[in-house]
Amino acid sequence: MSIPITLDFSLRQGAFMLEIHEHIDARVVALFGPTSSAEIELFGSGRKIVPEMDCLVCYKAECDFVPNCMDLITSEMVKNAISAELAIALGRG
């Protein structure tokens, strides 16, 4: 007999969604590029992905750098963060 598992998890970009995640009791992986990761507190319920770049927190809608900060966030970084958060959510991390 299998037992269904309900898992609340969110992958978000955008301050509004990050600010409300704490009210829905979900694990979160937050992506930061031109915005400030320091302005968002996850209260231990997730992790932040912040690329290594000197010009972060510029808040520009468009960027002249190639690659830009969002380009430096790889699918592998996101996959690893999601895997780690899912392990925590399932009690394996």
pLDDT digits (tens, 9 = 90+) for 12-51: 556 666 666 666 677 888 888 898 889 888 888 889 999 9
In the chain, what are the domain boundaries? 9-88
* The predicted structure's pLDDT at residue 27: 83
Of the pLDDT bands very low, low, confident and very high (cuts 50, 70, 90), residue 66 is very high
Distance CA 86, CA 59 (A): 30
* The predicted structure's pLDDT at residue 15: 64
CA atoms within 13 A on the CB side of 62: 1
* The predicted structure's pLDDT at residue 79: 93
- Output the CA torsion 77→80→86→91 (10° steps): -130
Beta bridge partners of 48: 30
3-state SS of 72-85 is CCCHHHHHHHHHHH
